[in-house]
Structure 1
Amino acid sequence: MDKDKGILSGPALFGLMFLAFIVLVLRRPDIVMHAQPWAEDGVLWMAGIYNDGFWQSLLKPEAGYYQTISRLTYGIALLFGLKQAALVANIIAILIRCFLVGFIVSKRMNFIQLRYRVLIAAYLILMPNVAEGFVNITNVHWYLSMYLLAVVMANDAETLAGKVHDFTVLVISGLSGPFVIFIAPCLLFKRLYTHGGVVNAIKKISLFDVVMAACCLIQITVILTSPAAARSNAPLGASFSMLADLVSCRIIYGSFLPFEMARNMAAHGNINTLLFIALAAMLIFSFIKYGWRVKSIILFPVLMIGFALARPLISPDQPQWPVAFNSEAGERYFYVTNVALACLAIALVSVTPRMKTQILVAGFMVFAIFIPKGFRLNELPDSGYYQDVSAFEAKEKGEKVSINILPPGWAMKLIKK
């Protein structure tokens, strides 16, 4: 990718971030107009902090690893009271995406031409098939992992503010899910390439490297020492043909098309197999041919989706992979892969010798045709959360109360303080 000397001004950068915030809210206005806790947002993070206190809750692993961003967010959100906590948490989740957008178009990423960075940022905001995690703190760690990968891929920070930013993203993302374990090899590639080999990489080891290694060690230790998290006992339903179907539907087509269209396009098993083989060949070729940044944007998603599909939690009683192929369940597992595929597609255009602009315009126009179909996400039903909170506030101290949240059928247990 060609280096671009153009740098957005501060007001322009913040303007793009503000625009990203507005567009994200427009996709599903109820995330701010009628915010409600979603699943673990209430059952684990809000209830845990309210009942047990922030610090005691913060140090608890969940599902076999630390999930710091969720607990940290609701620690802040509860300062505004139970009724406003979900709104504050949703705003933080939106802001994390906006900061990622801002970082991508900032000068820290100017090894990519600005027009390509703007396209990547636009894709992050407009990408289809994101309803499951739109917008909640429970699923924001998927975006934090992409943020951390962007920090690793970026030009090194030269200012104190930039370094503080990088370490903040590293620590919060590194201790929010197991993804840092899959990003660490990308940092290793960076050091080997930029320092000229293993010996120099060891000699020039930085504090950033040490902190990432510490985050990896902490998460690995917790994973190995925590009791096995409750998972579905349903079979995987795995086979090569199903893998090809799943990758074709949820990644190759699903990166750019709404699910129903992607599923219809992936109805032909033989074509899916050819697409899977073609994608694998392209990734292997690109991994071998190009530098550490391309290697990183291939390696992290492949490692992540490989481990995710080995033990997914998509259905409690049906074969996991077929359910993921035939329904929208498990969207979260494909956020990283789909953003990576979009980035690789844009990168491919950037190294095309001719007609780059024409290809970009044509590709964006095709993508834009389907944006209206997937742009507006269905608002979620009223769970009765606000009515239950009002009733809870009138209860006696020490009384245990069940408060309804989303999705329907979920409830959190709070002990009145």
Structure 2
Amino acid sequence: MGHAEAGAGHNLDCDIAILGGGLAGGLIALALRRERPDLRLQVIEAGPVLGGNHIWSFFAGDVDARGMALLDPLITHRWDGYDVRFPAHRRMLDTAYHAIRSDQFDAGLRKMLSEGTIRTGAAVTSATSDNVVLESGEEIAARAVIDCRGAGDLDALEGGWQKFVGLELELAAPHGLERPVIMDATVEQIDGYRFVYLLPFGPNRIFVEDTYYSDGPELDAALIEERVLGYAVAQGWRVAEVVHREKGVLPVVCNGAFGEYWRSTGAVPKAGVRAGQFHPVTGYSLPDAVRSALFIAGHADLSGEALHGRLFARAAQRWRETSYYRMLDSMMFYGADTSNRYKILERFYRLSPALISRFYAGRSRWTDKLRIISGKPPIPVGRGIRAIGKNMKRKSRDA
């Protein structure tokens, strides 16, 4: 349906209003621009820039060829493989790894989207499937509204948390790393499963992130920043400057009420974390954000009512499909002592690279699922069974 037809008989300010200029909203806008250039888009972001203050990373296997084509102009760093380090196991995998910086995300979208599409510094006070009211009092009429403004009511979900503080460091001498270290779990295990994540951005530039799989969401950023700097010193690196800081707290979901979570943000079409579209184990949303963007751009009927029905059904189906990952989270949080959680990942990283790749993409085969839980378990069998039973007794109302 072309632009003229979409707006026929209506005083529309745009065809599609996308609320939130983060990863999900930005990729939807980019996919629609590529696939439906006839549509008038509005990306409405409360902050001063798109993308906030983030570094998003992903494995090559997380997206298909169409997804990679969508992301390719935004990628700032590429590596041919990555390492993991555990107390009893170290490994290099040759799966390609990529990173997108939020400043490049902002610049790329501004370059590729039509002039006037992006509105920053515009906070939303209310929204329906076809109308948006801004804090300024301005109203925007649209054929459809898609809400991508971050998480809904997390009280509807149960589990633990992945929390992190990352520093990008300029060093006085080269660090010597050629590829990322996705997990260095040889560090002291504090507050759950702890690991350090390393991205080498240049010979003297490295991003160091201290990450925790914890029972609670509390984040002492100053304390963890001290640990990051201490880690750098332990590696023999001398820090010349801290050039970038990042922190976050992501839900690691064991169970919950999906319908309640969706309804907590109103009867508006949703995508991204707001739609519950993130990996239950890693908390990362990029693979699902890419798939949602391509899914939306591939539909002819982009009315608000039609979009709401499709996106709700799709998100609910994905919630059901990812129940296995939530079971694994239950074993980690309810079955393993906090000091031994690292053993679960240590064992996982002994499995085949293809299985690991499908796991991160959220596309595990049934054979993968059997393989992950077969053999000698990293936690006592009885405790694991009790953890799964405990999880099944918790509220699990589906959509």
TM-score (normalizing by structure 1): 0.24
Q: Which has the higher strand share?
A: 2
Higher relative contact order (CA 8 A, sep 6+): 1
Q: Which has the higher helix share?
A: 1
TM-score (normalizing by structure 2): 0.24
